[in-house]
A = this chain, B = another copy of it.
Amino acid sequence: MAAPALSRLSSAVLQRAASASRQSARLADSVPREVVDDIFSQALQKQTGVSLKYMLDFGSNPIERQLVLSAQFLHNELPVRLAHRVAELENLPYGLSAKPHVLKVRDWYVESFKELRSFKPVKDHSDELHFTKMLENIYNRHKNVVPVMAMGVADLKQELHGVGLNELPEIHRFLDGFYLSRIGIRILIGQHIALHEEQKADHIGMICTKCSPVQVARDAIYDARSICMREYASAPEVTIYGDPNFTFAYVPSHLHHMVFELVKNSLRAVNDRYDDLDAEPPPVRLVVAEGDEDVTIKVSDEGGGIPRSGLPRIWTYLYSTAQSPLPQMDTHGDGSDGPAILAGYGYGLPISRLYARYFGGDLQIISMEGYGTDAYLHLNRLGNVQEPLP
């Protein structure tokens, strides 16, 4: 359901953006005329999607020639994707476009767009090395997009206080599409950069060809229980059901991110429920299922669940339990989208769902009020689903 809605929004936004490019006062205030024209012209170009399988085929032998081809693709593709987002950022409803934090994000996109467009064609290995250097700068520039955008949305939310969570569906759709696009851009750049680094065993760039979901889950559980220990001085057990020797091609850092998020939520729910009780908290259960189409990871807890009426809230970007809109910035220093960035922002689940959807999977959550919650992380096993392009 989400994909058609996103593309509807996108084309509508782009049409408005294109026809309104001449009156685009805000952007034209800070950017030269010819750059504005170039952005809106690039925003009318079609984005080109890739698949996990394509990335594997492409990166399987990272000789110089392949890196040059990759750089040439990115040199064409990235400005188109960035321009789509700038056009979108110029046309947000409820005055969101004019919020200082949103303008800051927009300026990062414009800056990276300009750098890419002024880079001369990549012809040889030397060009490619310079290009990759520039990509690293861009990757770093955009590392705080999610928390800064969240601050812009928090500003809007404060302005519109009293507005129900589900009354701003276009903001939700925009953010879903915007963050999904960001995941795609960062994977393309991250993968290109990673191909320059020393390859880990069974890795092609960021992709592990023999990713063991049970092993990744073990690491994510370890991290989630450590955080839980710090917060509560105790952490429920997590039981894993699945074959540790089963592997498939996936991006382990994404998988870790998603499983960490689900397990962390389950540990919290169980701890909160059993805080005052003498009873031993029931273990969280994690099941890894191997299907032909999907690998599914289920995380089940008996943490009391939430009422059905409260479920939409877990997917919204407009709800947060945090008191003040001061998100943590990237403390990793490496530009990675580690979970720490989003702590307390309630963005963990919607962003995790986008990570799953990016490679054709999904994240579903069903809660039984008075009992517990089950989360199902579906991961497309074939990897030949083309990336969704909002």
A positions within 8 Å CB-CB of B:
287, 289-294, 296, 298, 305, 307-309, 362, 364, 366, 368-372, 374, 376, 378
Contact = CB atoms under 8 A, between A and B. Distances in A.
- 6 smallest CB-CB distances across A and B, nearest first, come from A291-B369, A289-B371, A291-B370, A289-B368, A296-B368, A293-B307
Given A290-B370, A366-B366, 7 more contacts: A290-B371, A291-B371, A292-B307, A292-B370, A293-B308, A308-B362, A366-B376
Nearest to A375: B366
A369 B294 contact: yes
B289 A369 contact: yes
Instruction: Please report whether the interface of chain A is mostly helix, strand, loop or mixed according to DSSP.
Output: strand
A298 B302 CA distance: 13
A368 B287 contact: yes
Contacts of A371: 287, 289-291, 296, 298
Contacts of A362: 308
A374 B366 CA distance: 10
Nearest to A369: B291
A378 B308 CA distance: 8
A305 B293 contact: no
Contact of A293 (B289, B309, B366, B376): B309
Nearest to A366: B376
Contact of A305 (B289, B308, B369): B289
Contacts of A294: 307-308, 368-370
A368 B292 contact: no
A375 to B, nearest CB: 10
A382 to B, nearest CB: 11
A146 B289 CA distance: 37
Contacts of A378: 308
